[in-house]
C-alpha cells in the first residue's frame, strides 16, 4: 500500500494550512513559499462548483517535478460538494496530494471520511504531524482484559447522546492506531498495510448510529500487532 495522498485536518483555516505545509515540507521536501505546485484555496461554504474547480486543479500537471499539492480550507461544505470530491480523494491523480481543512469534522460525510487520512493540527500543543492520542495509546498497550472492558463500555450507552460520544471515542482509538501505523512506515509492510485497509473501511461504519461498535473494536483488538503501541 502506498503512502496516503488525501488528508483532512480539523482546524481553523490558517492553522490547518500551516499543518498541511509542514507535512509537505517534512515528508516531501516541498517548500510552500513561492511554490506554484502548492495551491491554497480558501472558501466559506464549499459548493459543488468549488469542488469541481478543486478537481480540475488537482488534475493539472505540476509546474516543476512530478508532485503538486492542493490545500482547500472551508468553514463548511455542502454534502453535494463532498460527494463531488469522493472520486478525487479516493483516487488522487498521479503525484497529487490533497488536503481538506475544516473547523470541525462533524459535518464530514462518512463516505468521504473513510477515504482520507486525518492529520492532527500541529498548531495544537503536544501533537505531532501524525499525532496519536492517549486514548489510542492506552488501548494499544492494554492487556486483553483491559481492552475488553473498554470495548464493553464503548458498546453501551443509556441514550443516543452517550452512544454518539462512545462512537467518537471508538473513532479516536481507530485514528490513533492508524497514526501509529503511519509513524512506523506501516504502509510499506504488507500486514500493517492490510490493517490500514481494514481501518479505512471500518471507520466509515463507525459514523452510522447503528454501528456494531463492539464487533469493530474486537476485530481491531485481535489484529493489532503487539509492538504497535
Give the distance between the most distant pair of CA atoms in the chain: 56
- Cell 501509529, located at residue: 180
DSSP for 39-57, please give it: EEEEEEEE-HHHHHHHHHH
Residue 190's Cβ-count burial label (10 Å; 0-12, 13-18, 19+) is exposed
Cell numbers placing 189: 509492510
What is the pLDDT at residue 127? 38
C-alpha distances (whole Å) from 31 to each of 21, 37, 56, 111, 206 are: 8, 10, 23, 31, 36
DSSP 8-state class, residue 8:
E
**pLDDT of 131 strictly over 50:** no
The three-state secondary structure class of 48 is helix
pLDDT confidence band for 30 (50 / 70 / 90): very high
Is the separation of the CB atoms in 118 and 14 below 8 Å?
no
State pTM to two decimals: 0.56
Most confident range (mean pLDDT) of 60-64, 67-71, 90-94, 112-116 is 67-71
What separation in angstroms does the CA of 102 have from each of 12, 71, 117? Answer: 6, 11, 14
pLDDT in tens, 133-153: 677 888 988 999 999 999 999
Give buried/exposed letters for 177-187 (b at 16+ CB in 10 A, else e): bbbbbbeeebe
Residues 6+ apart with CB under 8 A from 63: 36, 37
Q: Which three cell numbers stand for residue 149?
A: 472492558
Which pLDDT band holds residue 111 (cuts at 50, 70, 90)? confident
| For residues 97-123, average pLDDT | 81
Segment 79-85 mean pLDDT: 92
Lowest mean pLDDT among 58-72, 128-142, 212-226: 128-142
Query: Which pLDDT score is estimated for 130?
Result: 42
Distance CA 97, CA 207 (A): 25
Q: What is the dihedral of CA 128, 137, 210, 108, to 10 degrees?
A: 0
Query: Any residues with CB less than 8 A from the CB of 162 and at least 6 apart, and which?
Result: none
Amino acid at each position: 500500500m502506498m503512502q496516503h495522498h488525501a488528508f483532512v485536518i480539523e482546524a481553523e483555516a490558517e492553522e490547518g494550512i500551516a499543518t498541511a505545509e509542514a507535512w509537505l515540507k517534512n515528508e516531501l521536501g516541498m517548500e510552500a513559499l513561492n511554490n506554484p505546485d502548492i495551491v491554497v484555496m480558501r472558501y466559506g461554504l464549499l459548493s459543488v462548483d468549488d469542488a469541481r474547480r478543486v478537481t480540475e486543479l488537482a488534475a493539472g500537471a505540476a509546474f516543476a517535478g512530478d508532485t503538486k499539492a492542493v490545500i482547500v480550507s472551508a468553514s463548511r461544505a455542502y454534502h453535494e460538494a463532498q460527494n463531488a470530491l469522493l472520486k478525487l480523494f479516493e483516487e488522487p491523480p498521479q503525484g497529487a496530494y490533497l488536503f481538506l481543512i475544516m473547523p470541525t469534522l462533524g459535518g464530514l460525510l462518512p463516505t468521504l471520511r473513510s477515504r482520507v487520512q486525518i492529520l492532527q493540527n500541529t498548531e495544537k500543543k503536544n501533537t505531532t504531524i501524525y499525532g496519536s492520542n492517549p486514548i489510542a495509546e492506552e488501548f494499544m498497550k492494554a492487556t486483553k482484559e483491559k481492552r475488553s472492558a473498554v470495548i464493553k463500555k464503548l458498546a453501551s450507552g443509556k441514550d443516543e447522546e452517550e452512544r454518539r460520544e462512545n462512537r467518537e471515542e471508538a473513532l479516536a482509538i481507530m485514528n490513533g492506531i492508524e497514526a501509529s501505523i503511519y509513524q512506523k512506515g506501516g504502509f510499506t509492510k504488507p500486514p500493517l498495510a492490510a490493517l490500514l485497509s481494514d481501518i479505512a473501511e471500518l471507520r466509515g461504519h463507525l459514523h452510522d448510529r447503528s454501528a456494531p461498535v463492539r464487533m469493530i473494536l474486537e476485530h481491531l483488538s485481535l489484529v493489532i500487532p503487539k509492538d504497535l503501541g
